Structure 1
Amino acid sequence: MPVIAPITRTHHVVFRAAVLSFKESAPRGRAPVSLRVGVPDGAHECHVVQPGQALDQALRTDIAAALLQRTAAQHPHRWAWLTRVGTLALHDADVLWSAAWYAACAEADVEVPLAVVTRAGWRDPRTGVGREWTRLRRRSGVAP
């Protein structure tokens, strides 16, 4: 299910939480690419791509399918986000993991949106819809 404009309030809240969580937990410029499935700021499953790890498209799809399967019972309304360093400009990893993600979703007959998340914002790699912040901070008095 691609994210289309105008985005829903739910998409905004969920992906903003994913950006904040990544920004607060990842060292600037040194976080490996990770595929996460579940709920940002909540329970989720994760696959971290190790530096130099050779992954072909079939293995990426198997990883995505495993994450889908592990989160099926826990999170009926789950989300997927690919975290990486850099800008929100389209990156090779975005294309490769997006293709794997949506292939796994098609095999499982589910629709789970995917966003690319960096320290600056998020973007749907299929539609380009997203949000970017200059100075994103947690709102005071609001629980994560």
Structure 2
Amino acid sequence: MDPGLVEPLAPRLAALLRRAVLDHATSEPRRSFPARLHVGTPGGRQRVLALDADETDHALRTDVVAAMLAGASVGGAGEPVVWLTRPGELDLQDVDAQWLAAALAACREAGRPLTLVIVNRHGWRDPRSGTARHWKRLRRR
């Protein structure tokens, strides 16, 4: 199994993940909101899907991730990033595990590496490795 993100992160990837947190913190004012799946480049081109509370099966989630990855354009900047924005703490939740399994399956089928993190207003966490970053007051640089 892919171990996920491990320290030290490449500076470009660390900056992209920080940007995903910053964009989420500044664009989502509500305390309660639906989880969203993002594929692409944080701060750049990305595809976003609001996730319903409806149950979807693993095969459908895998097809959704595969389609989003196929349409993701990163302009020679490497592989697209997959991130899930949701309310709450960054501890592993069912929705995280479901979409992680789907993303892993889609990336294996496509022969692509997977960078996936869970994002809230204060940080990000890789559900596979536990690697995380947190900020008390995140500001634009």
Which residue number in structure 1 is paired with residue 30 of structure 2? 28
Runs of 4+ with >3 A deviation: none
Name structure 2 gaps, 5 residues minimum.
Answer: none
How does 1:86-125 map onto structure 2 within 5 Å? 86-125=88-127
3-state secondary structure, aligned to 1:89: coil
User: Matched residues in 2 for 1:80 and 1:63: separation?
Assistant: 12
| 1:33 Cα deviation after fit | 1.0
Which residue number in structure 1 is paired with residue 59 of structure 2? 58
Number of residues of Structure 1 aligned to a counterpart in Structure 2: 136
User: Matched residues in 1 for 2:6 and 2:95: separation?
Assistant: 21
Which residue number in structure 2 is paired with residue 11 of structure 1? 13
Q: Is the 8 A contact 1:33 1:49 kept in 2?
A: yes
Which residue number in structure 2 is paired with residue 138 of structure 1? 140
3-state secondary structure, aligned to 1:41: coil
Give the aligned residue type for 2:129: T
Check if 1:67 corresponds to 2:56.
Answer: no
User: Matched residues in 1 for 2:140 and 2:115: separation?
Assistant: 23
| 1:30 Cα deviation after fit | 2.2
| 1:106 Cα deviation after fit | 0.3
Give the aligned residue type for 1:64: V
3-state secondary structure, aligned to 2:29: coil
User: Matched residues in 1 for 2:49 and 2:110: separation?
Assistant: 18
Give per-residue Cα distances to partners, 1:42-76, cap 9 Å, x unaligned: 110111112x32211111111111101111xx225
What TM-score do you get using the length of structure 2 for normalisation? 0.90
Name structure 1 gaps, 5 residues minimum.
Answer: 140-144
